[in-house]
């Protein structure tokens, strides 16, 4: 295949998370990448977000500043990473690459990807035990980690007892740590995960 860009036609990104818009090509020795631009179209107007040329990388739209990057030193990979995805980031993104051929002619290719931004409810959390498992000797130290996925930020709360019953709140944070286990620590623990 002679110099073709590849990438998906549509992507669903998660609100507040980092999303990658894939765009790549197979490098060929007679063609040198001159410029790369990423543009976005919202409501019929197209604006350039990112430009890479011989003077370096430039982020041209203030609302994307500090939120976008394209991998360096990985020939052929010109994917756009967008951090902290906003609802307003939805639109059609166009990756455009221009190469200079050994005979000095220019070749340009482009592909477009439509981006949807989804708010994702938090999943039911999973508790991961420390390396020693759930049966532990007195005096040992261990931790329990609460893991859920969904739109960030996700907050966690730990309880000792039964959900819906008499439970004592122990703390917030994904990890519940025990420094020196006592027999009195034995029992049931659960965690809750929540996002917006």
**What are the tens digits of pLDDT across the range 123-170?**
999 999 988 788 888 999 999 999 998 888 899 999 999 888 888 899
Handedness of CA 103, 106, 112, 117 (dihedral sign): positive
In angstroms, the CA 71 to CA 20 distance is: 11
CATH 2.60.40.10 maps onto the chain at 5-118, 126-195
Exposed e or buried b per residue across 94-119, where buried means at least 16 C-beta atoms within 10 angstroms of its C-beta: bbbbbbeeeeeeeeeeebbbebebee
CATH superfamily ID and name for 5-118: Immunoglobulins (2.60.40.10)
pLDDT of residue 150: 85
pLDDT of residue 44: 80
pLDDT over 90 percentage in the chain: 76
For residues 174-195, give the mean pLDDT: 92
DSSP code at position 43: T
Handedness of CA 79, 84, 11, 49 (dihedral sign): negative
Nearest one of 185, 177, 140, 141 to 158, comparing CA atoms: 177
From 1.10.3720.10, 2.60.40.10, 3.20.20.140, 3.40.50.720, which CATH number describes the 126-195 domain? 2.60.40.10
Contact 94, 45 (CB under 8 A): no
Task: Give the sheet arrangement for strand 80-82, strand by strand.
Answer: 19-21, 80-82, 68-69
Predicted confidence band of residue 109 (pLDDT cuts 50, 70, 90): very high
94 pLDDT above the threshold of 70: yes
Segment 4-52, tens digit of pLDDT:
999 999 999 989 899 999 999 999 999 999 999 999 998 788 999 999 9
């Amino acid at each position: 295949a002679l110099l073709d860009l590849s990438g998906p036609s549509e992507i669903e990104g998660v609100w507040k998370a980092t999303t990658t818009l894939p765009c790549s090509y197979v490098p060929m020795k007679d063609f040198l990448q001159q410029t790369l631009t990423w543009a976005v179209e919202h409501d019929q107007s197209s604006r350039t977000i990112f430009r890479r040329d011989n003077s370096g990388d430039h982020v041209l739209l203030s609302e994307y500043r500090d939120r976008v990057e394209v991998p360096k030193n990985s020939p052929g990979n010109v994917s756009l990473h967008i951090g902290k995805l906003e609802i307003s980031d939805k639109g059609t993104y166009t990756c455009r690459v221009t190469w200079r051929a050994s005979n000095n002619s220019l070749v340009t290719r482009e592909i477009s990807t439509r981006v949807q931004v989804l708010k994702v409810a938090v999943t039911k959390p999973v508790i991961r035990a420390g390396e020693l498992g759930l049966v532990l000797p007195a005096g040992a130290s261990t931790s329990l980690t609460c893991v859920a996925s969904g739109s960030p930020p996700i907050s966690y709360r730990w309880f000792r007892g039964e959900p819906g019953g008499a439970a004592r709140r122990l703390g917030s944070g994904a990890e519940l740590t025990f420094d020196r286990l006592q027999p009195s620590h034995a029992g049931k623990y659960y965690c809750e995960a929540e996002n917006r």
